[in-house]
Chains A and B, each alone.
Chain A
C-alpha cells in the first residue's frame, strides 16, 4: 500500500523560472510550513467554569469561559442558580406581603427595592404619601445607595487583589446600616414602606446621628480614592478594560452607573416622575466619557458623594406633618396597570404591576438592573485576559438576587 500525502500534488508541475517566481515559491512554501507547525501545535483551548461557586461571582453566577492560554475566546454567563420565582410568588400574595419578598431581590439596597413597587401600588390606588413620608423615603433610599456602593468600592479592591479596602468598606457600611436599623428596625430587610406612607416616624436624635454617619461615609470615599483610585496598578488594571460605547450601552439596555460611565446623561432621579423629594435637592448627575471599568468605578464613587449630599440636604429641610396618608384598612388596588421605576443603586429597577381589583396583583414583572447589566458580559469579554474577567464583572457590579430574582 502506497501512502500518498497529497495525490493532486504529483500532477501539478511548477517550475519557477524568474527570481521573482522563485521568491514567491519560497514564500508560499514558508507559509505552508508555518501552517503545518501551527496545526501541529494546536492546543485546543480550555474551558473553565467560573462558578457557580467562585469568589469572583459573589453569589451563584456561573461563567463558562473558553480560554486560549490566558486569553478569553468567548464566555457565557449562566444565570438562574438562585431563581426564587418572586414574580410568581407575588401573584398569590397581598400587596403588603409583597414588600417582604421584594426586599430580597437586591439584598444590599433593600429599602430602594420597596419604593418603586409601593409607588406603583399608590399610583394605581390614587393615593399620595404625605410630604414628610416622601422625604424620609428619599433619605433612606439614598442611604441604602450609600451603604450599597461603599460595599461595591471595597469589593472592587478585593477583586483586583487589594485586600485592605474591603475591610474598611465593611467597617464603614456598618454606620449606614446602624442608621437604617435605628429608623426601620431592620438592618438588611427593612420592610418599612406602607402603601400611603411609612410604618413609623424617625426616632429621636436620628437626624443628628445621620449627619455624623454621612461624614464618615464621605471620609471613606476620600480614603478609597487615595488607596485605590490613585493607585497606579489599579489604573493600569481598569483603564481601557471593558470599554462600552454609548450606543452599545443603550443597545444592551444598561442602566445606572454603567450607562452614565459611557457618557449617557440619564438618571431617573432627575428624569423620572415620582413624587419623591429628589427634585427638591441640588445634586449633580455624574457622567464619564470613557466607558471603561475605571469610569464605571469612578462614577460610582462620585455618586456616593452626591448621595451623601442629597441626604444632608434633605435632613436639613425635613418637613413636619403626618407620615401616613388615609388608606383603607384592607388594601384593594383598583384594576389597571402601571410601570414605575427608580434609579436604584444598581440601575433602573422597575415594577410592571397589573391589577384586576383584588387583594393582590394579577401579574408583577420585575425589571431588575443587574440582569440587563450582565447581558453585555459575553460581548464585553471577548479577547480579554482572565484577570480582566474579574475586573469587568466587578465593574459591572451585579447582585445575584437582582439577576435571578
Chain B
C-alpha cells in the first residue's frame, strides 16, 4: 500500500494520464511491431529501411507527421458534425475498453465488479462511430462499409460474450482481477501447480473469443467493412489527415485493448507461476505485472495479425453463416459443458 494518501482528484489525474498514455503508446507499438515490421518480414517487402538507422524506425514517425500535416477534407455533401466526430467516437470506445484491465493486483484503473460486462459493452460503442462515419460521409462505399460493419459487429458480439461466459462461470466473478486470481489459485486435478490459465480449461471458448475478436476488430478474414478491393476503404473512404490517423489509431489500439482482455481472461493476465516463497506476493506482481501482461498482449496480438496477413477475406453472407450457424451454437454448448463440470467438480 502506498504510504502517502493521494487525494481523490490526484488519483483521477494519475489514472487519466495512465490511460491517455498507455492506449496510444501500446497501440502504436503494436502497430509498429506487427502491422509494419512483422508484415514486412512475412511478405518480404523491404519498404523504407533507411530512415533513422535501425530497421527504418523513424519512418513511422514520419508517416504520422505526414498524416497530421495533410489537408483535412470534409466532403461538400457530408453531414459535417457527424463526419467530424465519428473518428473520435471510435477512438474513445477504445480508451473506455482499457479502464478495467488489471496490470497487477492493485494496478488497476477502475476495479469494477462487473468489469467483463463493462468492457464488452463499451467495446461496441465503436459501431456507433463507424455508422456515423458511413452516414456522414455521403458516400455509397462508406455507407455500405458501415452497414456491413454494423451487421458484422452485431453478429460477432454474441459469440464474444458467450465465449466469455464460460470463463465467468468458472471464475465465479465478473471482476477481471478476481478472474486473474481465480486462475492463480486454479488447481490441476487437485494438485497445486501454481495456477492454470483458463486457456487450458476453456480452449473452445478461447478459440471462439479470438475468432469473434478478429471480426470485432475488422481484421482479415473479416475485414469486409474496409474491404479495399471492393469498397475502396469502406467507411474510411472520405477521411484524410488527422481523422484518418484517428481511425488507424483506433484500429491498432482496439487490437491492443482486446488482446489485453483476452490475455486477462484466458492467459492469466498479470500472473505467471513463480517459485513459491522467493518471489511471490502482491508487491512483485504490482511491479512485474504490467510487463507480464504486456508480453501476453503481444502474444495475442501476434496471433491476430498473423491470421490477418495469411487469409483472404470472407464474403458477407459467409461471415454471417459462421457466426450464427457455428460459433453461437458451439459457444452455447461450451457454456453448458462448463456449467455441468462446475457443478460436478
Contacts and interface: CB of A to CB of B under 8 A. Distances in A.
A234 interface: yes
A393 to B, nearest CB: 9
Contacts of A231: 311-312
B313 A160 contact: yes
B230 A390 contact: yes
Contacts of A236: 314-315, 318
Nearest to B226: A161
B247 to A, nearest CB: 18
Contacts of B316: 70, 385-387
B32 interface: no
Interface in B102-153: 140-141, 144
A54 B141 CA distance: 11
Chain B residues touching A, majority SS: loop
B42 A164 contact: yes
Interface stretch (B170-178, B217-225, B271-279, B283-291): B217-225
B42 A158 contact: no
Nearest to A235: B312
Given A161-B223, A163-B43, A167-B45, A233 B314 contact: yes
Interface string A15-59: 000000000000000000000000000000010100000111000
Interface in B279-322: 309-318
B204 interface: no
Interface in A347-405: 385-390
Nearest to A394: B229
Nearest to B321: A236
B22 interface: no
Nearest to A57: B229
A160 B317 CA distance: 15
A171 B227 contact: no
Given A56-B229, A387-B224, A164 B310 contact: yes
Interface string A311-325: 000000000000000
B44 interface: yes
A177 B313 CA distance: 30
Contact of B230 (A157, A233, A389): A389
A56 B312 contact: no
B310 to A, nearest CB: 7
Interface string B230-243: 11100000000000
Nearest to A157: B312
A343 B310 CA distance: 34
Interface string B84-118: 00000000000000000000000000000000000
A387 B315 contact: yes
A55 B233 CA distance: 10
B44 A168 contact: yes
B50 interface: no
Contacts of B309: 163-164
Contact of B315 (A162, A228, A385): A385
**B interface residue count range (under 10 / 10 to 19 / 20 to 34 / 35 or more):** 20 to 34
Contacts of A70: 144, 316-317
A55 B223 contact: no
B72 interface: no
A55 B232 contact: yes
A237 interface: yes
A159 interface: yes
A123 B231 CA distance: 48
A116 B316 CA distance: 44
B43 A387 contact: no
Contacts of A46: 140
A383 to B, nearest CB: 13
A161 B313 contact: yes
B48 to A, nearest CB: 15
A234 B314 CA distance: 8
Interface in A210-259: 227-228, 231, 233-234, 236-237
Nearest to B313: A161
A167 to B, nearest CB: 4
Contacts of B228: 55
A389 B312 CA distance: 16
A236 B314 CA distance: 8
A162 B229 CA distance: 10
Contacts of B311: 161-162, 231, 233
A227 B43 CA distance: 12
Interface in B10-24: none
B221 A233 contact: yes
Interface centre among B45, B220, B311, by most chain A C-beta atoms within 10 angstroms, is B311
B312 A237 contact: yes
A161 B42 contact: no
A158 B45 CA distance: 15
A171 B44 contact: yes
B331 to A, nearest CB: 21
Contacts of B42: 164
B213 to A, nearest CB: 18
23 contacts: A48-B141, A55-B228, A70-B144, A70-B317, A158-B229, A160-B229, A161-B227, A161-B229, A161-B313, A162-B311, A162-B312, A163-B220, A164-B310, A168-B43, A231-B311, A233-B313, A237-B314, A385-B316, A386-B144, A387-B224, A387-B230, A387-B313, A389-B230
Interface of B: 42-45, 140-141, 144, 220-221, 223-224, 227-232, 309-318
9 residue pairs, one from A and one from B, having the closest CB atoms: A161-B313, A162-B312, A167-B43, A160-B312, A159-B229, A161-B312, A387-B315, A56-B229, A167-B45
Given A55-B232, A171-B44, A233-B311, 6 more contacts: A48-B140, A163-B43, A163-B220, A167-B43, A168-B43, A385-B315
